[in-house]
Chains A and B, each alone.
Chain A
Amino acid sequence: MKKFTQHTGIAAPLDRANVDTDMIIPKQFLKSIKRAGFGPNLFDELRYLDEGQPDQDCAGRPLNPDFVLNQPRYKGTSVLLARENFGCGSSREHAPWALDDFGIRTVIAPSFADIFYNNCFKNGLLPIVLAEAQVDQLFKEVEAAEGYELTVDLERQVVVTPSGEEFAFEVDAFRKHCLLNGLDDIGLTLQHADEIKAYEERRRQEAPWLFGAIK
């Protein structure tokens, strides 16, 4: 997995609550059997004026000029500011894959949906929860200043604004450890294979009907 330690980049404000995973990456693009290549279709229905198709070259498609990531001042955005309950809806990991493929490294919001939040960490993408008032302040600052950049320091667990103001955020110790070191968690789990086998043996005694049933 890709590491995340510290990142500085252009921030863009996506000013709507309850951005769902259908909005992040519409279903027709989930037919791909790959993990990469979803970036051109990130926010497809908000970003383009026509209906997108899988495997289509997006270069010639009509852009929605009102959509924030289409505005020239937000070109190269890698820090996405969002509103409450970002990533609600389906479990599709294509949502973080699309954000990552587009170049987003971190999403800052007052709250996230659980499955999306969890999926981000598996892909080197850092979701950051800040208080609503802090997110509001960042929205105001980014809208007021072109070229506004934010720095995220995972080691110190802070978001740093251009004026040097710092906002601390929480992150689980295990997830932080994996992100900082780019660790593959299957490998970590398999270090406990003996414990899994011991549990499984107990389970087989207690609930034998769960073993060998599906053939």
Chain B
Amino acid sequence: MAGKTLYDKLWDAHLVRQNDDGSALIYIDRQILHEVTSPQAFEGLRLAGRKPWRIDANLATPDHNVPTTERSAGVDQIEDPVSRIQVKTLDANCDEFGIVEFKMNDQRQGIVHVVGPEQGMTLPGTTVVCGDSHTSTHGAFGALAHGIGTSEVEHVLATQCLIAKKMKNMLVRVDGELGAGVTAKDVVLHIIGVIGTAGGTGYAIEFGGSAIRSISMEGRMTICNMAIEAGARVGLVAVDETTIEYFRGRPFSPSEEQWDAAVASWKELVSDDDARFDTVVEIKAEDIQPQVTWGTSPEMVAPVSALVPNPDAESDPVKADGIRRALKYMGLQADQKITDIQLDRVFIGSCTNSRIEDLRAAAEVVKGRKVAANIKQALVVPGSGLVKAQAEAEGLDKIFVEAGLEWREPGCSMCLAMNPDKLGQGEHCASTSNRNFEGRQGFGGRTHLVSPAMAAAAAVTGHFIDVRELMQ
């Protein structure tokens, strides 16, 4: 019998019940809640007279709606009344049901996918769900983690289980050595460019190979975060020493007495040598250059040195039509140089790239430089209050402010513009977020996805540039 993949092991370990019809009941160890996708779930519990199955499996924090400007006066300071009600509703629901919440001005507040691992709430071998598609982030730790809808948030609250069907296994193996200036973000954008935005649909993707092993936990989170942009609900990286070290001393990590037993079980969380994957994709690390998206889907991506594609060269008519539509929306010409795209705003943040390592990479590029005159705004939004404090302890905030970038309070911010941080119509943004969909960062806004180093380079030059040119 063939060995098991990491995904197979996680699935088997959480199987409560396998039904004859192919559906199964799997146990959920951890649920993270935020203000946007939980109110209707709590309301559903109340209407049915149900209580949460297990309070201590849940953690909540508001992130999507929170302002990133000065907010010391608390929730009442949220100007948009609809946003304010939503954040207050989360507070009230958590208070009513007794769920631990890091409220807006708690230093531990932040983006759900930054906070979970930072607290040790996400641990290897756990199942983690959240009403947010970027929950795939947590798979970086060898956890089975994926986004769910609000009905399922309610289902997990009420039963601690999900009705699920096993996914297929895909291995994306990145072997070799990444070049200087090529980051985890470039790796995952390159992968999405290769397999396409629906290439991972129906799969759990395990990212492996020597290049992935050499990447830090922050970088692995960036890669798993964007598995969903390749269509896969689940991204995974096998546990190694890097994973285990990450959890030493975190608030919800195993206690000292439990540590050795926990580590012993975590070490099993790798795919067996003879495990069978339904699909294997092999990528050479040396082929990956700094990436920039030019279109309105994450698969519309190219190396910074490339030209914007020409739809006339595309043989598939649906794809050619998609390219034409994207170029029109983005205000770009076929065959123009990506480095000629002029920018209006820069956003460094989001659950993809707002961790300390991301901020360090951006600060290194802008240090001693100034934001270009044509950039109306360059935002740096840390992923949590603790990331912010760490960055300030390292003096990164001063580097950003001296260079002309704005240093903000933690939240999702301009990644999806539910708070006041947004693009104006027609504005081009170099963004470290995860989606370049039409209108995502603001009505009529034009998003280009890049790494933190590439965003920083764009901020100081006013257009896209290969960050390696600034590193020499």
- By a beta-carbon cutoff of 8 Å, the part of chain A in contact with chain B is 16-18, 20, 22-23, 26-28, 30-35, 45, 51, 54-55, 83-85, 88-93, 96, 111, 113-115, 118-119, 122-123, 172-175, 177, 185-186, 188-190, 192-193, 195-196, 199-200, 203, 206-215
Q: Is B280 an interface residue (CB 8 A)?
A: no
* 0 or 1 for each of B181-204: is its CB under 8 Å from A? (1 = yes): 000000000000000011001100
Q: Name the CB-closest residue of A to B322.
A: A17
24 A-B residue pairs with CB within 8 Å = A26-B439, A26-B443, A31-B65, A31-B86, A35-B150, A54-B82, A84-B198, A90-B132, A111-B201, A113-B201, A114-B202, A114-B231, A114-B233, A119-B151, A173-B23, A175-B23, A185-B155, A186-B48, A189-B158, A190-B158, A192-B16, A193-B159, A196-B160, A214-B57
Bound CA span A18–B192, Å: 14
Q: Name the CB-closest residue of B to A213.
A: B252
With a CB–CB cut-off of 8 A, which chain B residues contact A28?
418
- By a beta-carbon cutoff of 8 Å, the part of chain B in contact with chain A is 16-17, 19, 21-23, 25, 27, 29-30, 36-37, 39-40, 43, 48, 50, 53-54, 56-59, 64-65, 80, 82-83, 85-86, 89, 100, 121, 123, 125-126, 131-133, 135, 146-152, 154-155, 158-161, 163, 165, 197-198, 201-202, 228, 231, 233, 252-255, 258, 262, 265, 297, 318-319, 321-322, 325, 416-418, 435, 437-440, 443-444
Cβ–Cβ contact B21 & A174, under 8 A: yes
With a CB–CB cut-off of 8 A, which chain A residues contact B255?
209
Given contacts A54-B82, A114-B233, contact A45 B438 (CB under 8 A): yes
Given contacts A30-B36, A203-B27, contact A85 B198 (CB under 8 A): yes
What is the distance, in angstroms, from B227's C-beta to the closest C-beta of chain A? 11
Cβ–Cβ contact B262 & A207, under 8 A: yes
Bound CA span A31–B25, Å: 31
Bound CA span A84–B322, Å: 12
Q: Please tell me which one of the listed residues A18, A115, A186, A203 contacts residue B154 in the complex, with CB atoms under 8 A apart.
A: A186
Cβ–Cβ contact A214 & B59, under 8 A: yes
Bound CA span A200–B197, Å: 37
With a CB–CB cut-off of 8 A, which chain B residues contact A31?
36, 65, 80, 82-83, 85-86, 418
Cβ–Cβ contact A85 & B21, under 8 A: no
Cβ–Cβ contact B152 & A45, under 8 A: no
Cβ–Cβ contact A115 & B148, under 8 A: yes
Cβ–Cβ contact A93 & B151, under 8 A: yes
Which 10 pairs between the two chains have the least Cβ-Cβ distance?
A: A209-B254, A122-B151, A93-B149, A91-B147, A119-B149, A33-B39, A173-B21, A51-B443, A174-B23, A85-B198
Q: Name the CB-closest residue of B to A50.
A: B443
With a CB–CB cut-off of 8 A, which chain A residues contact B197?
18, 85, 88
With a CB–CB cut-off of 8 A, which chain A residues contact B438?
22-23, 45
Cβ–Cβ contact A214 & B58, under 8 A: yes
Bound CA span A102–B124, Å: 42
Cβ–Cβ contact A207 & B265, under 8 A: yes
Cβ–Cβ contact B231 & A85, under 8 A: yes
Bound CA span A185–B148, Å: 15
With a CB–CB cut-off of 8 A, which chain A residues contact B21?
172-174, 177
With a CB–CB cut-off of 8 A, which chain B residues contact A186?
48, 50, 154-155, 158-159
Cβ–Cβ contact A93 & B37, under 8 A: yes
What is the distance, in angstroms, from B434's C-beta to the closest C-beta of chain A? 10
Cβ–Cβ contact B56 & A215, under 8 A: yes
Cβ–Cβ contact A91 & B148, under 8 A: yes
Cβ–Cβ contact A192 & B198, under 8 A: no
Q: Name the CB-closest residue of A to B198.
A: A85
With a CB–CB cut-off of 8 A, which chain B residues contact A16?
321-322, 325
Q: Please tell me which one of the listed residues A17, A93, A96 contacts residue B318 in the complex, with CB atoms under 8 A apart.
A: A17
With a CB–CB cut-off of 8 A, which chain A residues contact B444?
51
Bound CA span A162–B121, Å: 55
Given contacts A55-B82, A209-B258, contact A27 B201 (CB under 8 A): no
Given contacts A33-B40, A174-B163, A199-B27, contact A91 B123 (CB under 8 A): no
Q: Name the CB-closest residue of A to B39.
A: A33
Q: Please tell me which one of the listed residues B39, B231, B253 contacts residue A113 in the complex, with CB atoms under 8 A apart.
A: B231
Q: Name the CB-closest residue of A to B84.
A: A31
With a CB–CB cut-off of 8 A, which chain A residues contact B125?
207
With a CB–CB cut-off of 8 A, which chain B residues contact A192?
16-17, 25
Bound CA span A33–B158, Å: 19
With a CB–CB cut-off of 8 A, which chain B residues contact A215?
56, 100
Cβ–Cβ contact B163 & A189, under 8 A: yes
Cβ–Cβ contact B25 & A195, under 8 A: yes
